[in-house]
Structure 1
Amino acid sequence: MARAGRKRKSGDRYPSGDLRRAPDRGTPELRLQRALGTGLLTSDQSKLWANGNAMEAAEDLSMSARQGVDAVGRAHVAGFLQHPDKTGDQLVDAGRLLFKLYWAHYSDLRGMAVSSFYRALVSGGAIRGGASDDGGRWERIEEALNLRLAMLDKCGTDVRRAVTSLCIDQHFDAGPAWLDRLIAAKTTGMAKLRAESPDVEWCWPQDAFLAGADVASFNRMHHAVIGLAAIA
């Protein structure tokens, strides 16, 4: 009697029948660190993590914590990307597109120690280095980048610097410092205000300064939102 063959692996498959690879979510420690950076880590999860139970602590993390792979994503999760005419998703997409255009034009990402999110962009062809031309692709990238940078310049130096810090500079899992300060003010400061006055409806960003946000960081975020809305 012939032996049974190997059991078919379970999971989603492509139309060709090949098994779809499960997305790499990173180690529990990395996911917890990203949740901490976005202000989404609860006190119970922090205690589990501190006691060496990172895997258990990471089980119930908010899906929004996955946005913490870059600074503009952390700002979105924290609720800072508020604009009357643009959604937060639109501003995030505009910031990430600017990053892709900038680094595709100015640098070869293959040698950088970047997060798995951006490695996936590189391997998938969304960003790539090298000097070869593909039907004028690099000219189109340069044109699209210069258009956006010119729009930011029209908004003023403060806006250009804020968007550069939030979206172009490489702050993958933490930073820039001004954003970290704002997130800390929101998570700890707002919690303190609510504990002291539970009957008061504390709101961000209206009560940002009462929560402990510094003026310079608040203004930097304000300028970044103006710039992202201009290029969205």
Structure 2
Amino acid sequence: MGNPFNTTTKLLAGSLLVLSPAFADAAGLGKLSVLSALGQPLKAEIDVVALEKGELDSLTARIPEPEAFARAGVEYSSVAAQIRAVVERRGDGRAVISLKTQQPVDEPFVDVLVELDSANGRLVRQYTFLLDPVGYKGPEPAVASPTVVAQPAPAAEAPAATPITPEPAPAAAAAAPAPAAAPAAESAAEQTYQVKAGDTLSRIAEAHRPQDVTLQQMLVALQRANEDAFINRNMNLLRVGKILRIP
């Protein structure tokens, strides 16, 4: 997470929902960049792409009404209700849709429909993105240890050969039976966790993620491995008492 938040795209899903024919060669919605952290007012940007000359002045953006969310099968959350979407022009000529809330966002996942309107038509796209905890930086990259090249040891001077008188061979001992092969180790038992009241997916993911796995990767892996543990497949709505499989 840099400066201090991770501006790397956190786009997990960006589904095109509505595209009018006139919009096919006009402005579109690109990547989503998250600029805030969990527990802070939301701040994010969506790139506006494929702008035609003079089209920017006609662009407007908004979060659609709850009915549009229902038609798309997306929950209209309290966070979605707070978000304000505004088209902004950057100094380098780019256009972005700025997404902001006044209140802090305490849900690690946010599902949003974003509508972009222009003189050429209307475009609606679904975005799902993650909010990292404040100060979260992810796992540090592994540092390669310097390679040590083994040097050959100097050859020792061979001692003078001493003649050896061969002794008579002992009587052949009975061949000992070969030791039985050790049974293959059984695969480790699947790790599980029972959801308790007050648990959040981000807290569970942070507690069980390996050091070389990011929080985002663990969250997505948990959701994919336990889709039936979420109400309406919403990552923020865990079913209490459900047994989660830990990937």
> How would you bin the TM-score normalised by the shorter chain?
under 0.3
Structure ranking higher in helix proportion? 1
Structure ranking higher in strand proportion? 2
Query: TM-score if structure 1 supplies the norm length?
Result: 0.25
Q: Higher relative contact order by CA 8 Å / sep ≥ 6: 1 or 2?
A: 1
Larger radius of gyration: 2
